[in-house]
Amino acid sequence: MSLPPLVEPAAELTVDEIRRYSRHLIIPDVGVEGQKRLKNARVLCVGAGGLGSPALLYLAAAGVGTLGIIDFDTVDESNLQRQVIHGVSDVGRSKAESAAASIREINPLVNVEIHNTALDRENVRDIFSRYDLIVDGTDNFATRYMVNDAAVLLGKPYVWGSIYRFDGQASVFWAEHGPCYRCLYPEPPPPGMVPSCAEGGVLGVLCASIGSIQVNEVIKLLAGIGEPLVGRLMVYDALEMSYRKIKVRKDPNCVLCGENPTLTDLMEDYEDFCGAVSDEAQEAVVDSTITALELKDWQDSGKDIFLVDVREPAEYEIVRIPGATLIPKGEILSGEALAKFPQDRQIVLHCKSGVRSAEALAALKAAGFSDAVHLQGGVLSWVKQVDPSLPAY
């Protein structure tokens, strides 16, 4: 469905702006009026990472007058494969600062507002209230639900995108005109069910594919042209090069935007709601967690350890802790690999950061391996505390 323009037009375009945006101005559906609306718009991008990078670059190039960037992270070398707004010289720099510098290089006519902080329950309303529209470039469920809830409560539209390996999704959520994110996903997936990009990987160019769709939707909403993806989910498969649209209806029983909402304020703890690890895993790790330095001491003292890497084979090929045996988490959870575990050796599980190994530990303890432990912080803590020469992917 077509919607009226989200913002009023600016008073005028300068001579420099007319020159810069001439290819927009000669499109009848955009024209001078549409470009004035872009100039007058205030858009916030949550995250300056994989999706935020192409989104910010093209929003700036398109002439959105004010761009807000919220990101508390710093640029890491592993980001450069897909986060194209950053360069080699930006490694170690604030992502928000790095992105702002790139935007100013692309279009100095754009005003950039930096929020170099983590988005949380205490600041999300204040930050969102300053903008007309939100672009969601986050990569975790806790923040996605918080972004959705704050946008609905403030009456803001937001453009959502998601990427994983070769697959991407995009939609526009605006409770006043259609469904919200909770209508599509009322509950987060069980802990550990959906790997993050850091665990499963993502094709770098997929970020550009989905990020550009997000920008396209932003422009349509701001200028009031075309039919935004309100009530529709765009699904993209990069391997098959296929796009398909799925209708998403407003859920009358939605706890947030339904006919009788029960969620009338932000939740107290989104991390707890989304469950970074299951209750079983949280219980399993109590008194069954060791540090990287403790593991190194065990190895140096000759302790009989059965060290198990529960990551995927591709990760194991990148970097591994010496002496580790690869047994992917899925094989442990299914019970397929339980026969591989000895009863007379100290079992130590590890993954990249400690989440997957906690889930595997819960399965092992349930199977009777009560003395098993897992490595706090996984490979990342081993690289940081024991062997910095190894790559922290």
Catalytic machinery residues: 197, 351
H/E/C letters for each residue in the chain? Answer: CCCCCCCCCCCCCCHHHHHHCHHHHCCCCCHHHHHHHHHHCEEEEECCCCCHHHHHHHHHHHCCCEEEEECCCECCHHHHHCCCCCCHHHCCCEHHHHHHHHHHHHCCCCEEEEECCCCCCCCHHHHHCCCCEEEECCCCHHHHHHHHHHHHHHCCCEEEEEEEECEEEEEEECCCCCCCHHHHCCCCCCCCCCCCHHHHCECHHHHHHHHHHHHHHHHHHHHCCCCCCECEEEEEECCCCEEEEEECCCCCCCCCCCCCCCCCCCCCCHHHHHCCCCHHHHHHHCCCEECHHHHHHHHHCCCCEEEEECCCHHHHHHCCCCCCEECCHHHHHCCCCHHHCCCCCEEEEECCCCHHHHHHHHHHHHCCCCCCEEECCHHHHHHHHCCCCCCCC
Question: Taking the CA of residue 80 as centre, how many other CA atoms within 13 Å lie in the half-sphere pointing to its CB?
Answer: 9
